[in-house]
């Protein structure tokens, strides 16, 4: 801080501020323009006076203070600019004296992410030569601009300021390039397999077309080619620093049965004639077993290393296991279905004893009091009634479908019609939740309940003495089980995901309900749950940014 010793002392300024006349729409207006100063140029100082001791001291009644982008000189008697730009003076005069603060409006400002640079430019002072484009570029270079400068745009602003006598304010003159992420490796199919039902279309709606099943191939026919991941392209900010890109991720391609993968060429071909089945990045070619009628006592249980096409239904008590895709022309009633491929059931599944385990996708019109566990996407076309539905990917229901009670749990997204009714037990809807972990969670809860009941029976039989050996042992076992229960992370994620990647994925997931969600419905995304207090209609539910609560959005 500089101070003046004499009442009459004033600040000495070393830059010019002048008024110029500007003709605007037939009238003349006055515009103040400011001298462009350079870094370390002297802006102002206070006159020094000699004290009785012979030393020089600054004044007392006038204070000169540094504002933004200014600083004192090494000797402390002057203010200097730290950047190229236009000085701004703020004066405050009161009974105690005068305070002068000088700041700089920078010639160039850079966005916080260093990806854009903006120019502020005043018209030249009257009688002074205007700045030339080369000198302006040099000042920008000194300010650190090393990439993305558009010289043509810069020249245009310079000419506009000088010819039209206007102030250019924070005009974009340089732009960095964002890094371009590499593309993930993927399979390019050479056959017409048809898109997977449940695919999200451009308008956000779901494609519920019928799955194409049982595509046949000849021996040696090319099924798919693995397209390698790409490295992507690094970006550059306006300061010239490289921004690393995210390389595409590789995929592991596996084949089974009569499919052959050539790692060098990336080609997957059929080793023998057969039917193609695709689950994630696993391709198999197998024979097709056709059963025209029902699975009953005349056929017995079916365990096939083939794709299986059943014309009728699977009757109570029977089991069908297929190595490839499975299509059931009828329904599944109190039976067991296992497929290492994909599943289509034409007439639905029912019965508390019905269990369906599928490695790939499942497409079912309705499911009633049954359990389905799928590695891929599950499509429910009409209704799920008190059923347990678990999908590794998404679960999608048509807009006019109904989910009544039970559990509907996806590792990915949910999109549903109506959920619940006035007289039904509440349903649990979950997105971003790992089915295996949830089932483990349920098992632990049951084991804890049984252990607590066992402990209570023992206490009733032998007394409640806290020193009894069995009580101490069982209490420790319960504490350990409860610790394991609360330690379980139910969120889904890819192997090797960082916590940030897992969180970003969870925040991208949603539960969409296009019709009513009845009061009492329990909603979960990852580890966060809430209960619907009153019946609402057409909502999209997502995680909050801090991942501490569920947010409801109107659809």
Domain count, the chain: 4
* Rounded Cα gap, residues 293 and 101, in angstroms: 93
Closest CA to 186 of 246, 232, 253: 253
402 domain residue, yes or no: no
319 domain residue, yes or no: no
If asked whether residues 138 and 66 sit together in one domain, one would say no
* Rounded Cα gap, residues 109 and 118, in angstroms: 5
69 domain residue, yes or no: yes
Look at 21-35, 287-301, 365-379, 439-453 and tell me which has the smallest mean pLDDT. 21-35
Q: What is the mean pLDDT of residues 224-243?
A: 95
**Higher confidence at residue 198 or residue 552?**
552
Look at 18-22, 209-213, 402-406 and tell me which has the smallest mean pLDDT. 209-213
Give the pLDDT confidence score for residue 52 in this predicted structure.
41
291 domain residue, yes or no: no
The DSSP output letter for 506 is H
Give the pLDDT confidence score for residue 418 in this predicted structure.
95
Is-above-0.75 flag for pTM?
no
pLDDT band at 199; cut points 50, 70, 90: low
* Rounded Cα gap, residues 511 and 554, in angstroms: 12
120 domain residue, yes or no: yes
The DSSP output letter for 83 is S
If asked whether residues 200 and 278 sit together in one domain, one would say yes
DSSP letter string, 161-173: HHHH---EEEEEE
If asked whether residues 115 and 100 sit together in one domain, one would say no
* Rounded Cα gap, residues 264 and 311, in angstroms: 41
If asked whether residues 156 and 191 sit together in one domain, one would say no
390 domain residue, yes or no: no
Mean of the per-residue pLDDT values for the chain? 88
Give the pLDDT confidence score for residue 8 in this predicted structure.
42
If asked whether residues 198 and 258 sit together in one domain, one would say yes
If asked whether residues 150 and 208 sit together in one domain, one would say no
Q: Which of 24-28, 212-216, 413-417 has the highest mean pLDDT?
A: 413-417
Structure tokens at 442: 């349920």
User: For the segment 514-551, what is each residue's pLDDT rounded down to a tens digit?
Assistant: 999 999 999 999 889 999 999 999 999 999 998 899 99
* Rounded Cα gap, residues 458 and 461, in angstroms: 5
Q: What is the mean pLDDT of residues 206-214?
A: 75
Buried b / exposed e over 38-59, threshold 16 CB at 10 Å, is: ebebbbbbbbbeeeeeeeeebb
Give the pLDDT confidence score for residue 39 in this predicted structure.
94
Q: What is the mean pLDDT of residues 266-292?
A: 91
Closest CA to 314 of 297, 334, 295: 295
If asked whether residues 29 and 96 sit together in one domain, one would say yes
Assess whether pLDDT exceeds 50 at residue 243. yes
pLDDT band at 205; cut points 50, 70, 90: low
N-to-C CA span, the chain = 60
Q: Are 15 and 43 in contact (CB under 8 A)?
A: yes
How many angstroms from the chain centroid is the CA of residue 451?
41
If asked whether residues 131 and 170 sit together in one domain, one would say yes
- Greatest extent of the chain over all pairs of C-alpha atoms, in Å: 123
Q: Which structural domain range is residue 267 located in? A: 186-230+248-282
User: For the segment 156-169, what is each residue's pLDDT rounded down to a tens digit?
Assistant: 999 999 988 889 99
If asked whether residues 217 and 274 sit together in one domain, one would say yes
User: For the segment 467-483, what is each residue's pLDDT rounded down to a tens digit?
Assistant: 777 788 888 888 888 88
Q: What is the 3-state secondary structure (H, E, C) of 391-409?
A: ECCCEEECCCCEEECCEEE
* Rounded Cα gap, residues 345 and 363, in angstroms: 6
If asked whether residues 93 and 137 sit together in one domain, one would say no
Which of 64, 88, 106 marks a domain boundary?
Answer: 106
Give the pLDDT confidence score for residue 245 in this predicted structure.
94
If asked whether residues 7 and 100 sit together in one domain, one would say yes
Give the ranges where 49-150 is alpha helix by DSSP (H).
133-142
Which of 90, 106, 122 marks a domain boundary?
Answer: 106
Q: What is the mean pLDDT of residues 136-144?
A: 93
526 domain residue, yes or no: no
pLDDT band at 53; cut points 50, 70, 90: very low
* Rounded Cα gap, residues 429 and 407, in angstroms: 6
197 domain residue, yes or no: yes
If asked whether residues 57 and 126 sit together in one domain, one would say no
**Higher confidence at residue 427 or residue 489?**
427
CATH of the domain at 72: 2.40.50
Give the pLDDT confidence score for residue 501 in this predicted structure.
81
């Amino acid at each position: 801080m500089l101070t003046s010793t004499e009442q009459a002392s004033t600040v000495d300024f070393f830059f010019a501020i002048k008024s110029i006349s500007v003709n605007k729409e037939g009238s003349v207006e006055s515009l103040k323009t400011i001298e462009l100063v350079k870094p370390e140029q002297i802006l102002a100082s206070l006159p020094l006076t000699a004290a009785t001791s012979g030393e020089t001291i600054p004044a007392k009644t006038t204070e000169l203070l540094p504002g933004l982008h200014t600083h004192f000189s090494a000797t402390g008697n002057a203010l200097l600019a730290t950047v190229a730009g236009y000085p701004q003076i703020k004066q405050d005069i009161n009974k105690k004296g005068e305070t002068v603060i000088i700041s700089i409006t920078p010639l160039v400002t850079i966005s916080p992410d260093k990806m854009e640079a903006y120019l502020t430019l005043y018209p030249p002072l009257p009688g002074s030569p205007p700045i030339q484009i080369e000198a302006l570029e040099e000042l920008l270079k000194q300010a650190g601009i090393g990439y993305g400068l558009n010289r043509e745009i810069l020249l245009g602003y310079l000419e506009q300021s000088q010819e039209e006598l206007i102030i250019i304010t924070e005009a974009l003159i340089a732009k960095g390039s964002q890094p371009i992420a590499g593309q993930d490796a993927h399979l390019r199919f050479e056959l017409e397999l048809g898109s997977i039902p449940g695919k999200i279309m451009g308008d956000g709606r779901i494609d519920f077309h019928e799955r194409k099943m049982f595509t046949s191939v000849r021996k040696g026919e090319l099924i798919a080619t693995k397209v390698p991941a790409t490295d992507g392209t690094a970006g550059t900010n306006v300061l010239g620093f490289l921004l690393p890109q995210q390389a595409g991720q590789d995929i592991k391609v596996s084949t089974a049965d009569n499919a052959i993968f050539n790692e060098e060429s990336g080609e997957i071909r059929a080793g023998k004639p057969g039917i193609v089945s695709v689950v994630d990045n696993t391709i198999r070619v197998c024979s097709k077993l056709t059963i025209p009628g029902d699975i009953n006592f005349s056929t017995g249980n079916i365990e096939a290393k083939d794709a299986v096409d059943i014309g009728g239904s699977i009757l109570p008590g029977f089991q069908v296991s297929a190595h490839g895709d499975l299509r059931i022309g009828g329904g599944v009633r109190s039976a067991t279905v296992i497929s290492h491929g994909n599943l289509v059931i034409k007439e639905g599944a029912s019965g508390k004893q019905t269990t369906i385990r599928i490695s790939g996708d499942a497409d079912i019109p309705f499911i009633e009091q049954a359990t389905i566990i799928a590695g891929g996407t599950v499509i429910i076309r009409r209704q799920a009634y008190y059923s347990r539905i678990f999908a590794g990917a998404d679960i999608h229901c048509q807009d006019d479908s109904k989910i009544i009670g039970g559990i509907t749990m996806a590792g990915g997204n949910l999109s549903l019609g109506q959920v619940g009714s006035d007289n039904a037990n509440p349903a649990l809807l979950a997105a971003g939740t790992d089915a295996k972990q949830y089932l483990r969670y349920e098992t632990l809860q049951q084991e804890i309940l049984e252990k607590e009941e066992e402990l209570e029976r023992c206490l009733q039989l032998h007394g409640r003495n806290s020193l009894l050996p069995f009580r101490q042992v069982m209490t420790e076992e319960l504490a350990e089980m409860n610790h394991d229960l609360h330690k379980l992370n139910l969120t889904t994620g890819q192997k090797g995901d960082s916590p940030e990647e897992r969180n970003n994925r969870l925040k991208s997931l949603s539960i969409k309900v296009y019709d009513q969600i009845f009061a009492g419905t329990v909603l979960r995304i990852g580890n966060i749950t809430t209960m619907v207090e009153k019946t609402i209609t057409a909502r999209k539910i997502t995680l909050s940014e801090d991942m501490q609560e569920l947010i409801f959005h109107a659809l």
